[in-house]
Structure 1
């Protein structure tokens, strides 16, 4: 689990929170939360901060190279 969609969905469910309740606490619409969780929309940093706060989570950002982010297979020896 690494992208915003998976993390928002995971933590919302951990908190037993509906999309509507999360949207209310984060100051956005339920449709926006649905689009984020489905991967159809990329939230702004400001919205991610509000979502994290509503979920009582900290927001962290990690930079990785494309090579590190892609799944690797072991080279044949």
Structure 2
């Protein structure tokens, strides 16, 4: 049975008051979770781009932590990765998990 893939980003104390740093950390955690789930599915970035209707550059940017996703984008990613997306955001850290749908 497959397990969920997750990524975490803990904000260093000296950057907790910096909104840009907090947002960047969340984007990095999402990018890592997308990459991990894509690897678990054994698909390449091009296949994920096709599944989402996005460009390869968009997928590269997401996986590299270079985008702050919208809720509609998160829904598209979850559907394309055949998983439920769990996100937990707190002051100090962000956790992102893709939990595979039951077979």
CA distance in 2, matches of 1:15, 1:63: 26
Aligned residues: 68
Structure 2: where are the runs of 5+ without partners? Answer: 1-6, 9-28, 95-103
Query: Aligned with 1:60: secondary structure?
Result: strand
TM-score, normalised via structure 2 length? 0.60
Structure number having the greater helix percentage: 1
Structure 1: where are the runs of 5+ without partners? Answer: 71-77
CA distance in 2, matches of 1:20, 1:32: 10
**Counterpart of 1:12?**
38
**Counterpart of 2:72?**
46
RMSD over aligned Cα atoms: 1.6
| Cα drift, residue 65 of structure 1 | 2.0
**Counterpart of 2:82?**
56
TM-score, normalised via structure 1 length? 0.77
User: After the TM superposition, which segments of 4 or more aligned residues of structure 1 sit over 6 Å from their partners?
Assistant: none
